[in-house]
Amino acid sequence: METRNLRKERIGVVFSNKMDKTVTVAVKWKEKHPIYGKFVNKTKKFHAHDEQNDCNIGDTVRIMETRPLSKSKRWRVIEVMERAK
C-alpha cells in the first residue's frame, strides 16, 4: 500500500469569488526582516478550487495543495472555517 506525501495546508481569507468554481484566497503571515529584525506582514494570493461555489468574500477557509487543476489552480478548499459577518 502506497503512502501519500504530506500536502501543504494554509488558512486564509477569500478575496474574490467571481470565477466559476474558483476562489482567490489571500494568506497572510509575519516574517522577520533579516537585517533590521522588524516583523513585516506578508501576503500571497492563491487560486483554489471550490466545487460547490459556497465560499463568499470575507470567509476564512482552509486550503490544501493538490495536483494542477488549471493554469493557475494548484489548491482546493477543504473547509469553510468561519463565514463572513
Could you state, in order of their start, the residue ranges of all structural domains in the chain?
9-58
Identity of residue 51:
E
Residue type, 74: R
pLDDT tens for 3-50 read: 777 899 999 999 999 999 999 999 999 999 999 999 999 999 999 999
Residue 48 CA: distances (Å) to CA of 34, 61, 69, 82: 31, 10, 9, 17
Cell of 52: 460547490
Environment class of residue 75 by beta-carbon count within 10 Å: exposed (0-12), middle (13-18) or buried (19+)?
A: buried
Q: Which fold has domain 9-58?
A: OB fold (Dihydrolipoamide Acetyltransferase, E2P) (2.40.50)
pLDDT in tens, 52-76: 999 999 999 999 999 999 999 999 9
